[in-house]
A and B are shown apart, each in its own frame.
Chain A
Amino acid sequence: MLPLRFRRVTMSARVLVGVKRVIDYAVKIRVKPDRTGVVTDGVKHSMNPFCEIAVEEAVKLKEKKLVKEVVAVSCGPQQVQETIRTALAMGADRGIHVEVSGKDYETLGPLQVSKIFAALAKKEQADLIILGKQAIDDDCNQTGQMTAALLDWPQGTFASEVTLEADKLKVVREIDGGLETIKIKLPAVVTADLRLNTPRYATLPNIMKAKKKKIVNVKPADLGVDVSSRLEVLKVDEPPQRQSGVKVETVHDLVEKLKEAGRI
């Protein structure tokens, strides 16, 4: 069995896609009165928007017959199965639910998730991992990069365009100065940025069909991963309330006020 790094990718390529269940982007977030976190009870949750883009890209690759199988993975309690089902309805072939609940779930972060993904990539013999660039709840933007490092795979992050060319991936990345195009060898990790594609809405017939697709349950311990966290959240606060401005009568007053405030 050749080491992962040297396997040639053929039409039998397998893609792992990570999907995270987060508070829906349209919800107004409220901080809990005890300032330990945000209110999640009874609040609408859905798939992280960047994960939707990741799933869409994987499904597109499958529709173009460039990859054979798309596996959707999510880490969390029972409810994340809904998120995996959405990925299945969008076109993923099967799902893996890594069970993490209770305190472990509250402290689950990119380091543990990337260890889980690295373990799954080896177990499932994945050729490509596509993740959202970041989750909209923690904005970490770390899981893709850490996963690639743990596997010693190349990474194409902030991807706005991905093209498969034989066993290499051409990735156009969105960076501060503009766009950077790189070529990386498979297997690799890609993280999806906003402009990579527009995710499809799951159609009702596809949601019905997705109910027959399999989701397998796995525990982190089965993968040899310790999910305990080395981080402790001390407090969570809302951003400061916006102060109202002050109107002044003359330019002279404006200059005085700016001087008072130490701005000029």
Chain B
Amino acid sequence: MRLPIACFPLLVPHYNKHTTIVPIGGVCLNLRKMDQVLDLHQEDFDVTVEPGVTPKGLNSYLRDTGLWFPVDPGADASLCGMAATSASGTNAVRYGTMRGNVLNLEVVLADGTVLHTAGKGRRPRKTSAGYNLTNLFVGSEGTLGIITKATLRLFGIPESMVSAVCSFPSVQSAVDSTVQILQAGVPIARIEFLDDVMINACNRFNNLSYAVTPTLFLEFHGSSKSMEEQVSITEEITWDNGGSDFAWSEDEETRGRLWKARHDAWYAALALRPGCKAYSTDVCVPISRLPQIIVETKEDLIRNNITGPIAGHVGDGNFHCLIVLDPNDPDEVQRVHSFTERLARRALAMDGTCTGEHGIGLGKRALLREEVGLLAIEVMQGLKATLDPKNLMNPGKVL
């Protein structure tokens, strides 16, 4: 009997963290012991890693070189797993997602053959050679092959980092500021949005006293000299949009305190209703549509009596509702489920995507069809049939 194969993905921490869901039984492969960092090329800013290496492990390995891999999905996940799920992070606005930072992959295909997507050992920073097989596998969620090596693009650790926080009277003013900051050419590294419900949860969890209104958490990377300029341009923009209480710091300890609210958001949300579980939604829209979708989503949450503080990577137009629910209350579960479907469709209606970071998996297959259309699905199915005719690889996912 042919057994399907699923890899052990270490994904962002949400409802099903650290579990591989295999609906029809099969074999789960745990690649954690393949944990070597191979082939570091400092002057070329690239490195190759095996599946057991995580961003923290890699950045610790690199610490003497002044280089780092900045994609940070929040959990210390497998880098090859991050490639498989096209992971993103809070500093995607400056450094991009996995899609832009994977130069080459070694993939074991369904028939056991080993493919090097950009050619064995190759690592040019750019290429126009043939079809882009590397990015075919990035985000394929294990359905097309098993990633056993990834060649990654590295960046220099910036000379200086500055963190800042600012409160706004409305979602609109916070997002307007975001757009203007990007338009002003400030190479901002992180812009994180927390809504009033989330700020309130954070205040209660951490004994803080932020104003209970939409808030932006910002981070700037660059040379020491450019920090002051970046911060002052940004402060002026927030001021023009009605922002207040702009606080910033270069000192590491103060930066940690400024951002503590954002770092603890997940736990702060959980603390709102002890004993409940948390479920994170994930949609992404063009930045200009963000105020509208957040406002409509908040109205939906209130109407349906759902606890859903919002945190978002507004620089990308991506946000998450950290819904806290009682999994033993079937009515609540149903309400949340319907809410998430409406949310995804709301994003699609605004030229967006039903998933910015978390992937399709099982739950969003129908939404994928709605998003890309029947023809695109057929093309994807054709690719799947070519690479995995027996449907061994993570069956039942994505398509």
Task: Name the residue of chain B whose CB is nearest to the CB of A82.
Answer: B64
User: B223 near A47 (CB under 8 angstroms)?
Assistant: no
Stretch in B65-73, B80-88, B91-99, B119-127 touching the partner: B65-73
B156 adjacent to A86 (CB under 8 Å): no
The binding surface of chain A is classed by DSSP as mixed
A26 contacts which chain B residues (CB < 8 A)? 57, 60-61
| Cβ-defined contact, B64 with A203, below 8 A | no
Asked if B64 and A86 sit within 8 Å, CB to CB, the answer is: yes
**What separation, in Å, do the CA atoms of A206 and B161 have in the docked complex?**
14
Q: How far is the CB of B39 from chain A (nearest CB, A)?
A: 13
- For the complex, is A201 an interface residue (Cβ under 8 Å from B)? yes
- Pull 18 A–B residue pairs with CB atoms less than 8 Å apart, ordered by A: A26-B60, A46-B63, A46-B64, A47-B64, A89-B66, A198-B252, A201-B68, A201-B157, A202-B157, A203-B66, A203-B159, A204-B65, A204-B156, A204-B158, A205-B158, A205-B223, A206-B66, A207-B66
Please tell me if the beta carbons of B65 and A207 are within 8 angstroms of each other in the complex.
yes
Residues of B within 8 A of A198 (CB): 252
Interface residues of A in 1-53 (CB under 8 A from B): 24, 26, 44, 46-47
Q: Which residues of the other chain, B, contact A89 by a CB distance below 8 angstroms?
A: 66
Q: Which residues of A contact B (CB under 8 A)?
A: 24, 26, 44, 46-47, 82, 86, 89, 198, 200-208
The tally of residues in B whose CB lies under 8 Å from a CB in A reads: 16
CA distance A207 to B64 in the complex (A): 9
> In the bound complex, how far is the Cα of B156 from the Cα of A82, in angstroms?
18
The interface residues of chain A lying within 8 Å CB-to-CB of B60 are 26
CB closest chain-A residue, reference B61: A26
How far apart are the CA atoms of A46 and B67 in the complex, in Å? 15
- Inter-chain contact A44/B61, CB cutoff 8 Å: yes
Does the CB pair A204–B157 fall under 8 Å? yes
Q: A246 CA to B57 CA in the complex, in Å?
A: 35
Interface centre among A26, A82, A204 (most CB of B within 10 A): A204
Q: How far is the CA of A204 from the CA of B157 in the complex (A)?
A: 5
Q: Which residues of A contact B57 (CB under 8 A)?
A: 26
Whole-angstrom CA separation of A208 from B66 in the bound complex:
9
Residues of B within 8 A of A86 (CB): 64
Q: Say yes or no: A206 contacts B61, CB within 8 Å.
A: no
Query: In the docked arrangement, what's the CA distance between A23 and B223, Å?
Result: 32
Residue of A nearest to B222 (CB): A205
**Which chain B positions have C-beta within 8 A of A208?**
66
* Additional A-B contacts beyond A26-B61, A46-B63, A47-B64 (13; CB < 8 A): A26-B57, A86-B64, A201-B66, A202-B157, A203-B66, A203-B158, A203-B159, A204-B66, A204-B156, A204-B158, A205-B156, A205-B158, A208-B66
